[in-house]
Structure 1
């Protein structure tokens, strides 16, 4: 037994909870009841470990306690049925030809399978994100609700619907067959990408970022990469997250206001993350076909590898965005390409590119389009149009730090009398 303070248990529980849940769902089925059993096992650990110390094998301890509670719950809920009928009714369909799961699957395997289950295409995307953070990430419903500024009861209903869908559709607790794996890996990667983006650049609320979300996305992507090391897009996604998150310490000023990349103190960037990300980019781009995450990682590498903003390889970034635009029907990619064009050919060239996007409603309703246009107008010398653009962007922004920053930029362009 190892004795630690209660405050030191949170990280351990967050790491172990998905592993224990995966083991129970694999063994017994019924996602909903398994999660209840895991929560009760964690509660027992919270009561016993501070006084008695952490068991030598905390995962095995939690699985044992949770399995006992799972059995109790099954007996209570189906007391009128024979035990064999109870178990067969609760168990999810599984691959009966596979070797015994306890002998062939590790804790990491269970967590990965749980991740694939939570990101099943039969579930709506909001449910995939919520269930991933709840079951695999170990975040509480309250934490997820705070992160996405959604009422907690709304999240609770969303989770309940998702678990009911898993049960009613008979979704299996196993990795997808090989013919489905590529599409399912893409779905899992997309969920992790969305979680990271919300953590790195919060869409609303009082803070520019939510570090706990981006950190959790990085942790889960590391797991995915460790188990699928040859997947170039998974490698690219992890590289992209690390290279992007490395800049976070320099992204905000003393008052929490955004600091543009051109003005960031690069000495504040996390050099360990940059070094790891650059190595991963080299692994992800061996030649041949590449995907969107690999291309975005390569762009992030060019930003992070530049000794200063002025020495950024903008022609290469522009070229990469052109390739990325061909692969992805994403208006933000075309917006970023226009900015790269401006950095190479001047603000007027960038503004001409933005003019081509005026009919794209998904983009013109986003504050980033108007902020980028205002920035280029300012550099082109059209201060009045730039001020109007910053005001339009501020009115559309839902993040308070971005609103304050954009209003300040507009105010700085008011003519002095």
Structure 2
């Protein structure tokens, strides 16, 4: 087992990793930008190293500075968390060259599965259901039109190197192909440094359901059930839950086995997530693989009683997975608490937090790096906390989440708590009747409910 781990991240996920490391008897090193000097992950780590100014490109994305921080503190492993360099094959490769264990997949695996077009080709090769579409990169509008005519409209362009909804454009007929292809390429180039685009059939009214998997270097892979991530706004997840509403034991077994088969055939090592689209007829299709721990991993932890960060560290250290029958208990929901104002089209809201009161009570968990007096910087993602509740069933979990959201007090900045509260009262959400476009097309937020 590692004596010391450097966490190449910030905020709540850095603090989350530090907590597990402490319970495992592992010392930790935090890295931070000058904007994060007073963040809790810096205060709680055993050591901390400043790696640059506020902009991520000058700090959290500076590989040489992170490697230098690991070397001067004698950290033998680096945990990348999620975002930033977590799915960067070059970072994983450089860690290997410096005899530092990257707590995640190998560079080859990140290259194979991190590129969505390549991942899709691999899944097709191994018989995992995929959405009909191009077998590789789209090189011309004519090629796109030909494929779209074969699979039928609507279709969607997707950035091969992308995520978070960037580089995605929907076409309802042939007249939109050229324009949307150019737009998708331009956005992909700007966001990911790659203009590579592929084409898929656009699935109407899908659910976004993902399977959490873990693989070790001995060839074993297990899954920990599913999460429903359909509650999205502009392709950004707002709320996640497990199990997925409408899931059956038979479908869970089928999807779980497909995910395990996919990971086994590519000899996957580490924590990862196989993401599927589930259509109205319970047909599921491989969408992409995330070769890292996910933001929403706590809902899986709550229903399986597993510490996924600990399991991730264990397999990175070479320990074999202890296989056991999956047991899911009750229901868990996670609401992402973001520093943004839903009254003004979710305008970002940075600034000083004047008051910060956490909800409590039975089966209520908050993962956050924020406290009263903390300055929320404007340089990073707007998520400042994750509120997770669990209960014996979904109905009770919704009631518990509503109670916890009402107790969550944050003053000095605006947050999306009012939006999440109204969602808890939404009849369709309560009934489990929603898809990935529900928040954008049907749910109506009332900015002044009084």
Fold match by TM threshold 0.5? no
Give the helix-richer structure, 1 or 2: 1
Give the strand-richer structure, 1 or 2: 2
Report 1 or 2 for greater relative contact order, CA contacts < 8 Å, sequence distance ≥ 6: 2
TM-score where L is the length of structure 2:
0.27
